[in-house]
């Protein structure tokens, strides 16, 4: 039987996953179930009914890799299995697999000179259950901007928030030498310290949740801007009747600020001023950042821009291509485990060298088992 490299790697990493079913009653081995679900999701299936239906039509293909002696489980069986699987273990297996993909992808080239890891949260809107008083699933994900890979995720517990979930996710990531970018909710002393202790650097957006720090940054850059003491790097974007000019300024002489606010290894501050013109109307906004590394203006521009790829290359793709917001999985561990599967499918389909859009790649995987196998092998 052929052995698609990435599929084998995926199943090997997930072999450590504990199967909670009674061994004597297992009709469908867990590795077969995981392969079925991953391949079906890659091919456009969005729920367990569609996954079971796809498996029934592609059983010969699946038997290239595993026996599937009893055929395809029903959608109810798939739902039950995914509800039972421990999401923490499931996530740990995924992260070990994603780390291998990241290592194989290499560092690439970037003006920042460091690996870039963006952290941000997303809610699966229809995954809650009002009848049981359970809110929708909210995950904080780690995104390797340069390699275009999901590295891991951490669920935000009920009655909690991202400030608690972010440190838990950071503990599980390999951060040595990486620049971690987080929006203002992650601008916390404990988070900055955790990143530095793990060998990484931070670039944190500063907003009103750190009012004293924000005020000092505003005052400094207003003064520096008026006297034109800082280098300015300017970029311009325009589409659909919108023109946006961004001006980036950085200061690496921040001893005064470090003494006032005691941020771990604070080494630079930055401002991005955006002038946006839409239909003849111009608006001006300023965003402020602190960092533990000394970046130049081009590095700040690249890092800030790379951070937002987590929005359009991860969150937007999950909603538009993988229909995450339409998922109606609500019970037990199912929503979180299926979110992990969607992340795995996204990693695989993004690594394809095909120039087609992700939507088209997913359709091509449904149309052609040869193309699907190429994605699994890493040769598409």
Residues 311 and 343 in one domain: no
In a domain, 111, yes or no: yes
In a domain, 134, yes or no: yes
Q: Is residue 325 scored above 80 in pLDDT?
A: no
- pLDDT per residue as tens digits for the range 255-306: 999 989 999 999 999 999 998 887 778 888 999 999 999 999 999 999 999 9
DSSP letter string, 170-188? HTTS--TTEEEEE-GGG--
The DSSP secondary-structure symbol of 129 reads B
- pLDDT per residue as tens digits for the range 231-255: 999 998 876 667 889 999 999 999 9
Q: What pTM did the predictor assign?
A: 0.88
Angle 161-167-169 (CA atoms, 0-180°, nearest 5)? Answer: 95
Candidate ranges 31-40, 100-109, 155-164, 329-338; pick with highest mean pLDDT: 31-40
pLDDT band at 3 (very low <50, low <70, confident <90, very high): very low
Q: Is residue 1 scored above 60 in pLDDT?
A: no
Q: What is the pLDDT of residue 181?
A: 96
Q: Strands across the sheet with 178-182, in order?
A: 149-155, 137-144, 115-124, 178-182, 201-206, 281-291, 268-278, 242-251, 233-239
Residues 212 and 150 in one domain: yes
Residues 287 and 350 in one domain: no
HSE (side-chain half, CA atoms, 13 Å) at 274? 15
Residues 192 and 224 in one domain: yes
N-terminal to C-terminal alpha carbon distance within the chain: 19
Residues 78 and 145 in one domain: no
Residue with more model confidence, 1 or 163: 163
Residues 40 and 80 in one domain: yes
pLDDT band at 327 (very low <50, low <70, confident <90, very high): low
Q: Domain residues for 31?
A: 5-92+332-377
Helices 87-105/5-14 angle, 10° precision: 140
- pLDDT per residue as tens digits for the range 6-65: 667 888 889 889 999 888 889 999 999 999 999 999 999 999 999 999 999 999 999 999
Residues 309 and 350 in one domain: no
Q: How many domains does the chain divide into?
A: 2
In a domain, 321, yes or no: no
296 backbone dihedrals φ, ψ, rounded to 5°: -95, 180
HSE (side-chain half, CA atoms, 13 Å) at 15? 7
Residues 138 and 243 in one domain: yes
Cross-strand bridge partners of residue 204 = 182, 290
Candidate ranges 215-224, 242-251, 261-270, 332-341; pick with highest mean pLDDT: 261-270
């Amino acid at each position: 039987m052929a052995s698609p490299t990435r599929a084998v790697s995926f199943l090997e990493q997930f072999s450590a996953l504990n199967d909670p079913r009674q061994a004597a009653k297992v009709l469908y081995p867990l590795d077969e179930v995981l392969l079925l679900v991953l391949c079906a999701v890659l091919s456009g299936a969005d729920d367990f009914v569609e996954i079971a239906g796809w498996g029934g039509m592609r059983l010969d293909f699946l038997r290239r890799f595993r026996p599937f002696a009893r055929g395809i489980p029903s959608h109810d069986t798939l739902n039950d299995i995914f509800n039972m699987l421990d999401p923490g273990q499931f996530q740990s297996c995924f992260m070990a697999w994603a780390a291998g993909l990241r290592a194989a992808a290499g560092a690439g080239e970037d003006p920042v000179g460091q690996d870039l890891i963006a952290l941000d949260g997303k809610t699966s809107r229809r995954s809650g259950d009002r009848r049981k008083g359970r809110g929708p699933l909210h995950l904080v994900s780690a995104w390797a901007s340069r390699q275009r890979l999901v590295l891991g995720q951490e669920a935000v517990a009920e009655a909690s928030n991202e400030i608690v979930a972010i440190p838990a996710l950071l503990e599980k990531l390999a951060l040595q030498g990486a620049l971690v970018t987080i929006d203002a909710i992650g601008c916390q002393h404990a988070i900055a310290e955790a990143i530095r202790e793990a060998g990484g650097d931070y670039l944190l957006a500063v907003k009103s949740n750190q009012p004293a720090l924000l005020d000092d940054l505003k005052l400094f850059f207003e003064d520096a801007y008026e006297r034109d003491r800082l280098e300015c790097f300017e970029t311009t974007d325009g589409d659909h009747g919108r023109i946006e000019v961004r001006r980036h300024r950085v200061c690496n002489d921040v001893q005064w600020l470090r003494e006032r606010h005691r941020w771990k290894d604070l080494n630079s501050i930055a401002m991005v001023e955006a002038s946006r013109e839409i239909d003849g109307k111009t608006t001006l906004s300023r965003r402020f950042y602190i960092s533990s590394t000394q970046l130049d203006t081009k590095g700040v521009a690249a890092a800030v821009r790379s951070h937002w790829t987590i929005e359009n290359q991860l969150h937007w793709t999950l909603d538009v291509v993988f229909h995450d917001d339409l998922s109606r999985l609500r019970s037990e561990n199912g929503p979180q485990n299926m979110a992990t599967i969607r992340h795995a499918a996204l990693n695989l389909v993004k690594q394809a060298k095909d120039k087609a859009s992700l939507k088209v790649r997913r359709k091509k995987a449904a149309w052609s088992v040869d193309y699907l196998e190429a994605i699994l092998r890493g040769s598409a």
